[in-house]
Amino acid sequence: MIKKGVGKKGLSPVVATVLLIGVVIIMGVIVFLWFNGMKEETITKFGGTNVELVCNDLIFSASYSGGVLYITNTGDVPIYSMNVKTSDGGSYNTRNIRDLEFSGGVDWPSNGLNQGSAFSGTISLDGTIELIPILLGTSDTGETTYVCEEMYSKELS
């Protein structure tokens, strides 16, 4: 008569320990890579100030009248670009000001709108217009743009 379980061997304790350590290491690497992918790259301006805080210092005026868009940088922070958000009848459209075609071959300045500078260009925009500033800062990978939050924007009727 043959007894159940006799002559059968399970995993040795050494192999089981090695497998357990391998699974723990693999799970640790996965968690590390997941958290590493979630961290946001810090963009700085003016010698190390976080660019998000620099948005607080933006001072600019803007108007849209007779088909002409006027923007003046009255603050100390250069404005690299602008997102132009137009809304009409519940639909929104956001475009970078550098991509818009102004009449007469006028383009947004290549280095942005420096302190005390002004820009004007003739363009047809419908509905409510919102100008959202974009700043240029530095990061570990070089120069990087940062779009300020909409609370720093100007709304034009």
What is the pLDDT, as a whole number, of residue 117? 92
Burial letters 120-154, b for 16+ CB under 10 A, else e = ebeeebeeebbbbbbbbbbeeeeebebbbeeebbb
Q: CB of 74 within 8 A of CB of 60?
A: yes
Q: What is the pLDDT of residues 105-125, one digit of tens each?
A: 889 998 899 999 999 999 988
pLDDT band of residue 95 (cuts 50, 70, 90) is very high
Taken as a whole, the chain contains a residue count of 157
Q: For the chain, what percent of residues have pLDDT higher than 90?
A: 39
**Are residues 106 and 90 in contact, defined by beta-carbon separation less than 8 angstroms?**
no
Question: Residue for token digits 């640790």?
Answer: 28
CATH of range 44-156; options 2.120.10, 3.40.50, 1.10.3470, 2.60.40 = 2.60.40
Does this model's pTM top 0.75? My answer is no
- pLDDT of 2 > 60? The answer is no
**Domain segments of the chain as ranges:** 12-41, 44-156
Mark residue 46 as left, alpha or beta (left: phi above 0; alpha: psi -120 to 50; beta: remaining).
left
Give me the chain's average pLDDT, please: 85
pLDDT bucket at 8, cuts 50 / 70 / 90: low
